[in-house]
Amino acid sequence: MSRLAAKFEELARTGRKALIPFITAGDPRPDFTVPMMHAMVKAGVDVIELGVPFSDPMADGPVIQRASERALAHKMSLRRTLEIATEFRKTDQETPVVLMGYLNPIETMGYENFANAAQRAEIDGVLTVDLPPEEGLECSVLLKARGIDPIFLLAPNSSDERVKKMDAAGSGYIYYVSLKGVTGAGHLNTADVENKLQQIRANTQLPVAIGFGVKDAQTAKTIANIGDGVVIGSTLISKIEANLDDLEKAKNEIVELLASIRQALDS
Amino acid sequence: MTEKYNMPDERGHFGPYGGIFVAETLIPPIQELNAAYHQYLKDPEFIAELDADLKNYVGRPSPLYHAERWSRELGGAQIYLKREDLNHTGSHKINNTVGQALLAKRMGKTRIIAETGAGQHGVATATVAARLGLECVVYMGSVDVARQSLNVYRMKLLGAKVVAVESGSKTLKDALNEALRDWVTNVDNTFYIIGTVAGPHPYPAMVRDFQAIIGRESKQQCQEATGRLPDALVACVGGGSNAIGLFYPFIEDESVKMYGVEAAGDGIATGRHSAPLCAGRPGVLHGNRTYLMADDDGEIIETHSISAGLDYPGVGPEHAWLKDTGRATYVNITDTEALEGFYALTRMEGIIPALESSHAMAYTMKLAPTMNKDEIIIVNLSGRGDKDMQTMAKREGIEL
């Protein structure tokens, strides 16, 4: 069983919800990421989404765009993101790591080379924002053959047919984008999310993590309870951005927020 | 292979190129657009309305003009200019925006967005939005806002909101990113008018179909004027909409050579250029697979060209396919050479071309002398140079 499947099974068994932070690899500096990942695990997160910096992050809002820009300024890349994951794995065999990014770096590396490299780095899932299942079959097959879960997105306007398609194509979990917009947007409506989740549940057994627009512990708890977990990204990265001259402070603030969310989720 | 040319396939593939590579939120609006595009392009009422607009509002057909003096001077093939510069708003871009705006109206969309580089597509979009009373937002890189300020003013006059994009390289690709972000946020009421033959399917095919009037007219006008087909077609290629518009109706006419002219900027060898077909590699950006300017890690490289409209790291997927199959040839022209083309046409024929089109003129100056006097080249004069007066004056040290 994959680390992701095992993790979600354990969470279901213990009646807990998954806390899934997103940070961009190499933001603001390459040496910040691995210690930050370990600190997040200590704060109680279940899965880490590690953003692969890309020059043209079309689905991201300004906060994650700037995170990519800071990382790229340090020559961060898909290859170096995999090195970071490898480094993390040396001292953490438990926490699933999901790569999240755009297709072109993977195309450039080549699907098979990428799948092999991801396997060596013990990556657990790959979410490629601009690779819908229709175009993603070749890559998904290579990943699945190596025990890596291809993770797909669903959106508020996704039809039943799309949900079924993701159910067939994906594994690990489904990432439900809770609003029409880019990452970090601010108009989340929990009633809408609740309605949509009923439709999604009717068409897939996969766990559903919900993200986009989650900013605080209370929202995180509400959202997580609707699904199986909550993804929080831009809010964490804002704390890096606000403390670029004091990264220890950035790290502490992120840990504090995640710990408070963990507490809210478990209470 | 070109005997029965039937590209793209149902999911928008031109061989390995094209396709739909977008975030999930954009899948439903793309499916909706695809359905509308297939429905209305076969709808006689829609076609009649489009034809009437092209005739009475755009001013089509545009002339095919025999540049006799320039042809004589160059001493080779007879050069015919397809005068897209004479269209309303001054370029070929309006052929497409008129069509897409009619679609938007049929689909009940109340808000139009667009990206623009040189501002020609932005102006053409703002124009049709004004005419139909639709809200219009145009995204433009802040570098382009500075170098194409006349067009920014035109768009504002027409009632559009122009958003200067500060991210990335602050040029056309970043404007496209920002327009996609707007679309994903406002999918319900918003129609995204993409200005070139790139983006997710159906855009490359749909924009081509709206621009193909350039080639259809050219073919008929050439027959009328000379009694035969041309020997060569020349057009500049940024995203590639004016080129595909000219090429497409000739693809099955194998005797007609096709030359797409990319922007070599400071020169291909310097790396400071915008020539993905000549010096790039296949990859995925902005919803489709095509040739791109990217580094070894797949990050998109900044491009350079004197002309804002060619300053783009990708190219329409159909051009990628025409390159791989050898049906079209892609060449490149530096900034310096483009300026020679600009001055040549201005002084030889009394026509001031856009800097984008000047690349096609410059390549024609190389090609024509290698051909016989009874051979024919049709060059797409895709836009007029008025928008570039400030850039040119500045280069000459003149303050306007």
ipTM, two decimals, is 0.96
- Closest residue in A to B177 (Cα) is A58
How near does any CA of chain B get to the CA of A16, in Å? 28
Q: Is A110 exposed, middle or buried (0-12, 13-18, 19+ CB in 10 A)?
A: exposed
- B63 in reach of chain A (CB within 8 A): no
Strands B257-267 and B111-116: unpaired
Interchain proximity B184–A59, CB inside 8 Å:
yes
CA distance, residue A164 to nearest chain B CA (Å): 14
Query: Does B184 touch chain A if contact means CB atoms closer than 8 Å?
Result: yes
List all residues 6 or more positions away from B35 whose beta carbon is below 8 Å from its beta carbon: none
Task: State pLDDT tens for residues B112-166.
Answer: 999 999 899 999 999 999 999 999 999 999 999 998 889 999 999 999 999 999 9
* CA quadruple B137, B141, B146, B150: dihedral sign: negative
Q: Could you tell me if B342 and B356 are in contact, meaning their C-beta atoms sit under 8 angstroms apart?
A: no
- Backbone phi, psi, residue B282, to 5°: -65, 145
For residues B230 and B377, the answer to whether their CB atoms sit within 8 Å is yes
Q: Which residue bears the tokens 């930050």?
A: A36
Per the listing, tokens 């580089």 go with B117
Q: Is the predicted pLDDT of residue A241 greater than 90, yes or no? A: yes
Picking from A66, A70, A130, A192 by the largest number of B CB atoms within 10 A of its own CB, the best residue to mutate is A130
For position B168, what pLDDT does the model report?
A: 86
Pair B60, B217: CB distance under 8 Å: yes
Tell me whether A153 touches chain B (CB under 8 Å): yes
CB contact under 8 A, B294 and A108: yes
- Predicted confidence (pLDDT) per residue in A106-156, tens digit: 999 999 999 999 999 999 999 999 999 999 999 999 999 999 999 999 999
Contact B27 A177 (CB under 8 A): no
Answer whether A58 touches B (CB < 8 Å): yes
Average pLDDT taken over every residue of chain B: 96
Count of CB atoms within 10 A of residue B398's CB? 10
B366 assigned to active site: no
- Which pLDDT does position B209 carry in this prediction? 98
B331 has which bridge partners? B261
Per-residue pLDDT, averaged over B101-110, amounts to 96
Q: How far apart are CA B82 and CA B378, in angstroms?
A: 7
CB contact under 8 A, A158 and B167: no
Tell me if the bond preceding A150 is cis, omega within 30° of 0.
no
- Among A54, A55, A134, the residue with its CB nearest the CB of B20 is A134
Q: Nearest 10 degrees: CA dihedral of A243, A248, A254, A259? A: -150
Cβ contact A253:A246 at 8 Å: no
The reply to whether the predicted model has a pTM over 0.90 is yes
Whether chain B has a CB inside 8 Å of the CB on A54: the answer is yes
Beta bridge partners of B236: B261
Residue B1: its pLDDT value, please? 45
Answer whether B336's CB lies under 8 Å from B358's CB. no
